[in-house]
Structure formats: C-alpha cells, structure tokens
Amino acid sequence: MMTVLFTMIRREIQEHKLAFIYAPFAVALVLCLVIASVYFGITDIQTNEFNFSTEIYDEEYQEGMLLASPEAKARVIRAGLIVLGLPILLTVGFGLLAYSLSTFADERKDRSLIFWRSMPVSDLTTVLSKLLFVIFVVPLLVLPNIILLQSVAMLSASIYFVTNDIVSFGYLWTSYFITDWFRIIFSLWAQALWGLPIFLWLMFAGTYARRPLVGAAVPIVVTIVLEGIIFKTNVVLEFIENRLGFWSRADSFPVASDEIRVVDISDIFLMLSTQAFWIGMLACIILVAGIVYTRSTNNDYTVE
Amino acid sequence: MSSDLVIKASEVIKSYEGNNALDGINLEVASGQILGLIGPNGAGKSTFLQTVLGLINTEGNLEVLGLDPRKDRHKLLKDVCSITDVAVLPKWMTVDQVLTYVNGVHPGFNLQKCLSILSRTNIKRSSKIKILSRGMVVQLHLSIVMAINAKLLVLDEPTLGLDLVYRKEFYSQLIEDYYDGNKTILISTHQVEEIEGVLSDAVFMNQGRVVMQDSIESINKKFLELRPNQESVEKAQALGPLHHRTELGREVFLYEDADINELNGIGEVRPPVIADLFIAIMEKTRKEVEL
C-alpha cells in the first residue's frame, strides 16, 4: 500500500511540477533578486503604498534597532520574513485551486483515465493520494523556496548592516530563524486541511462536469442566492470566504489575531478544537465519497 | 488446455435508457482460450468487455476469475490486463515515468521484461508519450501489458486507426511473445480477418446477445464453404446451403454439418472465413426471427 501511495504521489509531483516546483521557485528567485538588488544598492522600490529601499534605515531607525528589546526585535523580524513568503504562498494557493479543478477533469479529457483505471489501484486510493499530495506534499515542496527567500533576505540585510556600520552581522539571526521553518510547515499543513473542502469540491466538479469551472461555480452561486432569498443568511458564502483565508485568522478561530505573526504549534490544536474545522472535515468525507463514486461510475469523457 | 473457467456470465443485462446493450448474455470462457468477440457496431461487445473489467454495473451474474468485477475491481486487475482504447497512455509522461509508475502499482509487472520488449522497438525511454506516433504508443502499451503476469488479457479494438504494418506486428507479437497456452485472451475488433488466425474460439454477438459460441476447430469442422464447378451449381443449391453469395462472378455456398465427401465431388471446398460465417449466421438468425 505504501509503495502504491508513494508511486501515485510521485506521479502527481511529475505531472504538476510546473505549478508546485517551477512556479514557486521562479517567484522565490525573482524576490531574491529584488531583495539582493535593493540591499546592494542596485535598485529600490518606491510606490505610493510601498517603500522598499535602504533609505528607510535612517538615523532614527538605526537608533530604534539598537534600542529594541530582544522580543520586539524578534517579532518584527519574524513578521517580516512571513510577509516575504506571501507571494510564494499565493502562487501555490492559486496553483492548488487550478490543480484541484483539473486533476480529475484532465484524465477524462485526454482519456488517460482508461489507462489509470486498468491498473490495480482503487478509486479511493487514487483520491487519497491526491489528498496526501495537497495536504502534506505541496507544503513540503513550498518550504525550500521560503527557506531560500528568507536566507537570501537575511544574508543581504546582514551584509548591508555590517558594511554600513548599522548593527553587527548577527543582529538579525535570532534563534527563531530555523525553528520557524517547522512552524511554517505545520502551519501550511493546517492551512491545507482548513481549505480542503474547497479543494475537494473543485475535484468533485472535475469528475463529472463537462465544464468543470461551470460545474464547480454554478451550484455554489445558486445555493448562495437561494440561501439569501429563503433564509436571509449567507452561511455558505462566509464558509467559502473563511476557507479561502488563513486558518489562524478565520472568524471561528478562538484567538483574535490583529498582527501578522508566526503561528505556534499549539495554535493548530486550537484549530482542531473548533466546530468549524470538524464541520469542514465532515464535508470532506462526504466529498471524498462523492468523488470516489462519480469517478468509478462516470464513463463520460467529454470535457470542454 | 485447462478447463478452469475464467469468465462465467449468466443472464447479464445492461440497459441504457430502456435499450438493452446486453440482453441476457450467457457465456463461459475457459483458461487458455483466445476468444474473439465478433459482431457489428452496437452488438454489445465493448459493453461486455467493460463489464468484465468492472467498469460498468450490470444485472445478472458475472464472475471473472472467481471474483465479482464490480465489487472487486482493483483486486481483479492484479490478474487482468486490458487495452480498451488506442493511445490512452498519459501524454505528459515520459516512457520511463510510465514504466516506473506501472512498476510501482502493479505487483505482476516485470520491468526487465518490458525493457527487453521495448529494446526491440524504436521507442526511447526518455521520450515523452506525446511525441510518439499512435502506433508507437500502442506498441508501448502492448509492451507494458505483455510484461504483466496476468491470467486474462482484454483487448477492445486495440489496433483501431493503426496502419496495416503495426496491426500485423501487434498480433504477431501478442501470440509469439505473450501467449503461453495458459493465459486467456479476449479480443474484440472489427478487423476480424486479422485475428481469425490467432483465435481458438469465437463468439458471435448481435443486439446484446450471444448468437453463437464455438471453437475455431469445431467451426472449421461444422461449416464448409463450397465454390461449385459451373455445371454443379444446381446440385450445390439442392444440398440446402446455410448461405449463398456471389464472389467475383462465382457462386459460393456455405453449409452447416454437410458431408465433406459429397461436397468435394462438386467443387472446391474449404473452411469459411469468420467474417463470411458471421454474415451467414446473422442472416439465418434474422430469417428465424421473421418466421
């Protein structure tokens, strides 16, 4: 069973390396180049809303850096590193939505489903392999890019600070730098679990709809409209909005989070204690059953 | 040849919107048979093969290798291989990737054997499937299937759309390198003339029913085709042929259970080709229904 799952997951990685290996790496690489260029004085970015240049390190700022408490310093550095990784996470997030919509639709479209189904692999195993890919593997593929980006940012900034006599080289390198990578990976796994109902819904549409995007969107839009007209509520819409956002900032999360911060492992247990999480898991079980049933019975290979 | 039953179908029915694609199929296939499913479009051949592979639900009783294909599909597929459409290998994969995949999920797959078969072709392991010609994709698929130690091989129009060279190669490779007397092969194709030399048994299907099932050996004994001499045409007609046709201006009669000695005296006698026999049987069935 483990060999089969390993093989199936490797197949997913091979098929979707563009979305989950090349695209995040390209984004990380561009960000690394931009950051290094700014710190080495080659360029800067100044817009009305965003200012990223070494000019911010004026005398007042430098004084603040020297006077900052270790806690305040760590908080700012950690938050900054998290923000740096957001473009990569957004890229992978869109990649996951596209993957979910296409993974079962593409195999119908190119009729490779006939080949996959000629192998001694149950539909449930196939669905489980795709779930494991989304929940556990994709975050693992993303992490090296975040590590690369954070390392380049820290190194560039440290070289800048030491060569300009602002602070010592080791100023930025708090003990959190490496341990936060573990928090990030756990957080990404939690994020994938949190958003799983959305991914599974898109996968379900791919198993039956001739136009998967229409098949995924129309039932949801109709439900939202009917719910608004009949019950004057918007539970479905809020559910979707919540699931598309960060799990630690969801309405149902027990601790309000006003600032950008690195989540702690204990936050994941808080998520597991919420009713909203388990409602999502129940929806996942129903959707997995639906996907297995539809994939095993639908012999319509027409996908537009 | 072993008498173990590989397939046992009893009153298998499949309906689509009120029409019976399979209308009470009764069929037994023994181990070691190379059985051809022969019939016109809409006869139910593909539907039956999909049923055998557990891809569609049917009424009635069906056992394949002692298992219910619908309930135990993935267990069954450890011993059953199939090519049910042409060029369905995933185009994004390389040859190496698809071989590694099959090696990882199929306990009966022999990678070395597959590589040895592939080495006799022009297919490169690093090639993407999408750049291979249709014939090469079928060759690759056949190489994979031949390297799987399966008890039953199901082929549904495996050479459709391929040119003559690839079609000939496909069947000769299948028989020379794959068939060992114990494996059972189920073939459905429109190109009957290309497979009749390899079949041990034939099943004629029409409108979702089995019209006739027999071994080729028995068919060749039971049915005889006569091209009578010019002066013996009336005599040939008087012997009560099953079917009569004209071929390039010459009369051809088909007989069932006729005395070969009697026929030998009035013309050239030989076993009929499967396609002609099928047409004759269909006509006979149609006349019986009309009566």
| pLDDT tens by residue, B51-93 | 999 888 889 999 999 999 988 888 899 999 998 877 789 999 9
Please enumerate in sequence order all residues whose Cβ is within 8 A of that of A9, keeping only pairs 6 or more positions apart, or say none: A129, A132, A133, A137
Q: Answer with the residue of higher pLDDT: B18 or B7.
A: B7
pLDDT band at B2 (very low <50, low <70, confident <90, very high): very low
* B214 part of a folded domain: no
Percent of chain A with pLDDT over 70: 99
As a dihedral over the C-alpha atoms of residue A228, residue A231, residue A233, residue A237, rounded to 10 degrees, the angle is: -50
The DSSP bridge pattern shows strands A45-46 and A51-52 to be: antiparallel
Q: Give CA B113 to chain center in angstroms.
A: 25
Mutate which of B101, B126, B132 to disrupt the A interface (most A C-beta within 10 Å)? Answer: B101
**Residue-level pLDDT at A29:** 97
What radius of gyration do chain B's Cα atoms show? 21
Provide the token pair at A267: 């936050």
pLDDT of residue B3: 54
Cβ separation of B84 and A118 shorter than 8 Å?
Answer: yes
**C-alpha–C-alpha distance, residues A3 and B66, integer Å:** 27
Shortest CB distance from A118 goes to which of B77, B93, B107?
A: B77
Give dist(CA A122, CA A72) in Å, integer.
Answer: 53
Assess whether pLDDT exceeds 70 at residue A230.
Answer: yes
Quote the CA–CA distance of A220 and A205 in Å, as a whole number.
Answer: 11
Q: Is the dihedral of CA A172, A175, A181, A184 positive or negative?
A: negative
Looking at beta carbons, which residues of chain A come within 8 Å of B76?
A: 120
Q: Is A119 on the interface with B (CB under 8 A)?
A: yes
Decide if A299 touches B, using CB distance below 8 A: yes
- Which residues are CB-neighbours of A141 under 8 A, at least 6 positions away? A13, A20, A21, A24
Q: Is residue A184 part of a domain?
A: yes
Count of structural domains, chain A = 1
CA distance A297 to chain B (A): 7
Contacts of A7 in chain B (CB under 8 A): 100-101, 103-105
| CB-based contact B6:B65 (threshold 8 Å) | yes
User: Residue B135 is part of a domain; what is its CATH number?
Assistant: 3.40.50.300
Residue A303 resides in a domain:
no
Cβ contact A4–B84 (<8 Å): no
| Dist. CA B291–CA B254, nearest whole Å | 21
> Can you say whether the dihedral through the CA atoms of A81, A98, A96, A112 is positive or negative?
negative
The pLDDT, as a whole number, for residue A192 is 94
User: Has residue A62 got a pLDDT over 60?
Assistant: yes
Q: Which of A92-96, A191-195, B282-286 has the lowest mean pLDDT?
A: B282-286
If one compares B151 and A63, the residue with the highest pLDDT of the two is B151
The answer as to whether B213 is a domain residue is no
**A-B C-beta contacts closer than 8 Å:** 69
Statement: residue B288 has pLDDT above 80: no
Q: Is the pLDDT of residue A78 over 80?
A: yes
Helix (H, G, I), strand (E, B) or coil at B105: helix
Please list every residue in chain B whose beta carbon sits closer than 8 Å to the beta carbon of residue A107. 90
Mutate one of B81, B88, B151 to test the A interface: name it (highest A CB count within 10 A): B88
pLDDT digits (tens, 9 = 90+) for B102-155: 999 999 999 999 999 889 888 999 999 999 988 889 889 988 998 998 899 999
pLDDT for A281 equals 95
Flag whether residue A9 sits within 8 Å of chain B, measured between CB atoms: no
**B246 in the same domain as B116:** no
CA–CA separation, B106 vs B98, rounded Å? 12
Pick among A5, A119, A129 to test the B interface (most B CBs inside 10 A): A119
* B107 and B61, same domain (yes or no): yes
Partner-chain contact B82 A3, CB within 8 Å: no
B94 lies in the same domain as B238? no
What average pLDDT does range B149-166 have in this prediction?
84
For residues A46 and A21, the model is more confident at: A21
At residue A99's C-alpha, the angle toward residues A95 and A104, to 5°, is 175
Question: Is A304 part of a structural domain of the chain?
Answer: no
Q: What average pLDDT does the segment A235-251 reach? A: 87
* Partner-chain contact A8 B105, CB within 8 Å: yes
Closest alpha carbon within chain B to A4: B105
Check whether residue B112 and residue B249 sit in a common domain: no
- A215 occurs within a structural domain: yes
Last residue of a domain, one of B207, B239, B258: B207
The DSSP element (H or E) to which B248 belongs, if any, is none
On the question of pLDDT at A143 being above 90, the answer is: yes
Collapse the DSSP code of B205 into the 3-class scheme (helix H, G, I; strand E, B; otherwise coil) and give the result: strand
- Stretch A176-187: mean pLDDT: 90
User: Which single residue is written with the structure tokens 């430098």?
Assistant: A62
Looking at residue A294, its pLDDT comes to 93
Task: Provide the pLDDT confidence category of residue B37 given band limits of 50, 70 and 90.
Answer: very high
- CATH number for the domain spanning B260: value is 3.30.70
Give how far B91 is from chain A: nearest CA, Å: 8
The H or E element containing residue B276 is helix B274-290
Q: Report the mean per-residue pLDDT for chain B.
A: 87
C-alpha A288: how far from chain center: 21
Say what the pLDDT of residue B43 is.
87
Tell me: do B48 and B126 sit in the same domain.
yes
**Same domain assignment for residues B108 and B234:** no
Please check whether residues B234 and B274 belong to one and the same domain: yes
From B57, B82, B105, residue closest to A121, measured CB to CB? B105
Q: Which domain holds residue B121?
A: 5-207
B36 and B163 assigned to the same domain: yes
As to burial, measured by CB atoms within 10 angstroms (0-12 exposed, 13-18 middle, 19+ buried), residue B11 is middle
| Interstrand relation of B5-16 and B19-30 (parallel, antiparallel or unpaired) | antiparallel
Cα-based distances in Å from B84 to A23, A212, A240, B52: 36, 25, 41, 11
- The pLDDT of residue A249 is above 70: yes
Question: What CA–CA distance (Å, rounded) separates A89 from A95?
Answer: 10
In this structure, the answer to whether residues B46 and B160 fall within a common structural domain is yes
Best mean pLDDT range from A139-143, B73-77, B183-187, B217-221: A139-143
Q: Long-range contacts made by residues A57-62, C-beta under 8 angstroms, separation at least 24? A: A57/A161, A57/A164, A57/A166, A62/A166, A62/A167
- Position B1 pLDDT exceeds 70: no
CB contact under 8 A, B85 and A11: no
Q: Give the DSSP H or E segment for B107.
A: none
Residue B93 sits at the chain A interface (C-beta within 8 Å): yes
Among B81, B105, B132, most A C-beta atoms within 10 A, so best to mutate, is B105
Residue in B57, B74, B89 nearest the CB of A112: B89
Mark which of B207, B238, B263 sits at the end of a domain: B207
3-state class (DSSP) for residue B151: coil
Is residue B258 within 8 Å of residue B239, measured between CB atoms? yes
Please say if the pLDDT value at position B23 is more than 80: yes
Query: Can you tell me the mean pLDDT for A36-64?
Result: 79
Rounded Cα distance, B21 and B207, in Å: 7
Q: Is B53 on the interface with A (CB under 8 A)?
A: yes
> Between A12 and A256, whose confidence is greater?
A12
* Last residue of one domain, picked from the residues B152, B185, B207: B207
pLDDT of residue B291: 65
Tell me what pLDDT residue A247 has. 84
A8 touches chain B (CB under 8 A): yes
Indicate the pLDDT class of residue A5, thresholds 50, 70 and 90.
very high
Q: What is the mean pLDDT of chain A?
A: 90
How far is the alpha carbon of A128 from chain B, nearest alpha carbon, in Å?
A: 14
Asked if the ipTM is above 0.90, the reply is no
Q: Do B230 and B195 belong to one domain?
A: no
| B81/chain A closest Cα distance in angstroms | 7
Tell me phi and psi for residue B120, to 5 degrees. -90, 0
Q: How many independent structural domains does chain B possess?
A: 2
Residues in chain A closer than 8 A to B93 (CB atoms): 14-15
| Chain B contact probe: residue of A106, A114, A127 with most B CBs at under 10 A | A114
Helix (H) / strand (E) element for B58: namely: none
Cross-chain Cβ contact B55/A10 below 8 Å:
no
Residue in the block written with tokens 């957001």:
A86
- Cβ burial A6-23 (10 Å sphere, 16+ → b, else e): ebbbbbbebbbeebbbeb
CA distance, residue A99 to nearest chain B CA (Å)? 15
Using a CB–CB cutoff of 8 Å, tell me whether B81 touches chain A: yes
Task: Report pLDDT for A97.
Answer: 96
| Position with higher pLDDT, A33 vs B231 | A33
User: Containing domain of residue A172, as a range?
Assistant: 2-297
Least Cα distance to B83 among B5, B153, B8, B12 occurs for: B153
Nearest to A40 by CA among A163, A122, A123: A163
Cβ neighbors of B9 (< 8 A, separation 6 or more) are B25, B26, B27, B28, B48, B60, B61, B62, B63
Q: How far apart are CA B110 and CA B129, in angstroms?
A: 20
In a domain, B184, yes or no: yes
Flag whether residue B224 sits within 8 Å of chain A, measured between CB atoms.
no
Half-sphere exposure of B236 (CA within 13 A, CB side): 28
Examine residue B224 and state whether it is found in any structural domain, yes or no: yes
B94: nearest CA partner in chain A: A14
C-alpha–C-alpha distance, residues B115 and B144, integer Å: 9
